Chains A and B, each alone.
Chain A
């Protein structure tokens, strides 16, 4: 099945959810942009048309917004599709997709602790990699390292001698 036919099929399936698909193409993969409010119904529709495999959950810090990226794969159709949405930095709340793809569980935990995006409805919103008492979101662009962590100094004097600062 060609990509155009797939697009039409997805658009038809989405018509019930009142979502107008916004298509783009990135590195040869179909890309579907949606608003954060319609993410979950769209995800359910995509799962229904064969995209049963969630490859990852990625977040990009774009300053005012966080872009949340869900690369999907359909093994039966042999095609990839990238689902994207953007949430504002001031209120980075987004629906958890664990109900749709259980594989999202750990990915969402990781992105939540590293970027500060809140996945509403996540069944187990603990930290995945970082210690429980970690403060701040280390992959945000404006992350500043603390001077001290649990009484351990975080300084690295010889790097700063060479012109590298804490913020980079």
Chain B
């Protein structure tokens, strides 16, 4: 940019809103936590891999919750794990988003009757987008990410109510 645009454009100004710029920045760099709880994590890896390539939407994995904007809950969550996931969520810096991936994470899914299985991650942390499927295909998770991006695009972060 430094070399291609220099001396080619007159002094310019762009009119936009701060919210729009913030939202554009956020939705274009949704770094997700490298984290999976069960078999959905395998599809999560495929989604991050070269064929589905979540990277082209600005989403790359980070292995620390401190650097992550997005928590993708991929797989069955037990009560024991629920407290750990809550801790991870609390360690993420605002603004943060959650995608619930797959039936187990949405509502308990196949293992719903088990004594140790949490019936939906939304009982523990707030969820922005639910992706159905058992497990969802990489296309479905990509769609979930795009839906989340559209949600972020409409946010009014600076003027939101407390």
Contact = CB atoms under 8 A, between A and B. Distances in A.
B119 A156 contact: yes
Interface stretch (B1-9, B52-60, B78-86): B78-86
B81 to A, nearest CB: 10
Interface stretch (B29-37, B110-118, B138-146, B147-155): B110-118
A145 interface: yes
A129 B79 CA distance: 11
Contacts of A155: 119
A130 B80 contact: yes
Contact of B113 (A129, A143, A149, A164): A164
Contact of A152 (B107, B113, B115, B118): B118
A159 B112 contact: yes
B115 A138 contact: yes
B18 interface: no
Nearest to A156: B119
A142 to B, nearest CB: 13
A138 B82 CA distance: 18
User: Number of contact residues on A: which range applies?
Assistant: 10 to 19
Interface string A116-141: 00000000000001110000001000
A152 B124 contact: yes
A168 B113 CA distance: 8
Interface in B81-126: 82-83, 107-108, 112-113, 115-116, 118-119, 123-124
Contacts of A154: 119
Contacts of A149: 79
A19 to B, nearest CB: 37
Interface of B: 79-80, 82-83, 107-108, 112-113, 115-116, 118-119, 123-124
- The 8 tightest CB contacts between A and B, nearest first, are A138-B115, A131-B80, A156-B119, A152-B123, A149-B79, A156-B112, A145-B115, A156-B108
